[in-house]
Amino acid sequence: MTTFGKSIRIYLKDGTVTGIKFGEVVNQTIQSISCPRLRISELNEYNEAKRPGVYFLFGQDEDTGDPKAYIGEAENVYDRLLNHVANKEFWNEVILFVSKDENLTKSHVKYLESRLIQIAFSTRRYKIDNNNQSQLSSLPPADRDAMEEFLIYIKLLIGVLGHKLLEDVTTSSKKNDEHNTFTATTQDNQVVSMTRNLELFLSVSGLKASALQTDEGIVVLEGSEAAKDIKPSLHRGYRELREKLIKNETLVLEGNKYVFKKNTLFDTATPAAAVIVGYSITGPQTWKNKDGKSLKDIEQELLKKQNSSH
Each residue's pLDDT tens digit, 31-90: 999 999 999 999 999 999 999 999 999 999 887 777 899 999 999 999 999 999 999 999
In a shared domain, residues 145 and 215: no
State how many domains the chain has: 2
3-class secondary structure per residue, the chain: CCCCCCCEEEEECCCCCCCCEEEEECCCCEEEEEEEHHHHHHHHHCHHHHCCEEEEEEEECCCCCCEEEEEEEECCHHHHHHHHHHHCCCEEEEEEEEECCCCCCHHHHHHHHHHHHHHHHHHCCCEECCCCCCCCCCCCHHHHHHHHHHHHHHHHHHHHCCCCCCCCCCCCCCCCCCCCCEEEECCCCCEEEECCCEEEEEEECCEEEEEEEECCEEEECCCCEEECCCCCCCCHHHHHHHHHHHHCCCEEEECCEEEECCCEEECCHHHHHHHHHCCCCCHHHHCECCCCCEHHHHHHHHHHHHHHCC
Indicate if 156 and 243 belong to the same structural domain: no
Q: Based on the domain organization, do 155 and 238 belong to the same domain?
A: no
**pLDDT of 5:** 85
% of the chain beyond a pLDDT of 70: 88
Confidence bin at 173 (pLDDT 50/70/90): very low
pLDDT at residue 171, as a whole number = 36
* Pair 210, 282 in one domain: yes
Q: Which domain holds residue 297?
A: 182-308
Domain membership of residue 83 (yes or no) is yes
Do both 26 and 144 map to the same domain? yes
The Cα diameter of the chain in Å comes to 63
Query: Looking at the predicted structure, is the pLDDT value of residue 265 above 90?
Result: no
The amino acid at 162? G
pLDDT digits (tens, 9 = 90+) for 289-305: 999 999 999 988 888 88
Same domain for 150 and 22: yes
Residues 249 and 139 in one domain: no
Q: Do 154 and 201 have their domain in common? A: no
The pLDDT score that the predictor gives to residue 305 is: 80
The answer to the question of residue 228 being in a domain is yes
Tell me what the mean pLDDT of segment 255-281 comes to: 94
Q: Please state, for a pLDDT cut of 90, what percent of the chain lies above it.
A: 69
Let me know if residue 171 belongs to a domain: no
Please tell me whether residues 154 and 229 are part of one structural domain: no
Tell me if 62 is assigned to some domain. Answer: yes
Q: Closest by alpha carbon to 29, among 167, 152, 160, 163?
A: 152
Assigned domain for 301 exists: yes
If pLDDT is split at 50, 70 and 90, which confidence band does 15 have?
very high
> Which amino acid type is present at position 97?
F
Q: What is the mean pLDDT of residues 143-152?
A: 96
Residues 131 and 217 grouped into a single domain: no
Mean of per-residue pLDDT scores for the chain: 87
The answer as to whether 172 is a domain residue is no
